[in-house]
Amino acid sequence: MGQIFKPGTKLSSTVCKTQIMVLRAPAEELDIFCGGAPMQVGDPSELGEMSGDNSGTLVGKRYTDEAETMEFLCTRGGDGSVAVSGYKIDIKAAKKLPSSD
């Protein structure tokens, strides 16, 4: 049931206001969820019920997996958490800059 997502694809949650844009994704089928429900291309006609542990999404933040093989930009924040194929993805940590003396 998964889909192959190309960079630039915009996805909307079907249970909250969350919208994300794909920045980087592997060339394999992925199942992307938000709030326990599959995300879809385009705006949903009506919102369903959330399930699972949800900490929400923040607009302007980048979300990635541990190996950084995929990356998403949150374009509209919401109450649901984003997960890919059953694994919750988190905000991308800032890279440390070299110190200057």
What is the pairing mode between strands 32-34 and 37-38? antiparallel
Phi, psi of 84 (to 5 degrees): -120, 120
What is the pairing mode between strands 62-64 and 37-38? unpaired
Q: How confident is the prediction along the chain (101 residues), in pLDDT tens digits per residue?
A: 678 999 999 999 999 999 999 999 988 999 999 988 999 988 877 787 777 778 889 999 999 988 888 999 999 999 989 999 878 898 988 888 888 76
> What is the H or E stretch that residue 33 is in?
strand 32-34
What does the domain layout of the chain look like in residue ranges?
Answer: 10-87
CA gap 72, 61 in Å, rounded? 8
CA nearest to 11, candidates 39, 33, 44: 39
Q: What is the pLDDT of residue 101?
A: 63
Neighbours of 27 (CB within 10 A): 7
pTM, two decimals, is: 0.84
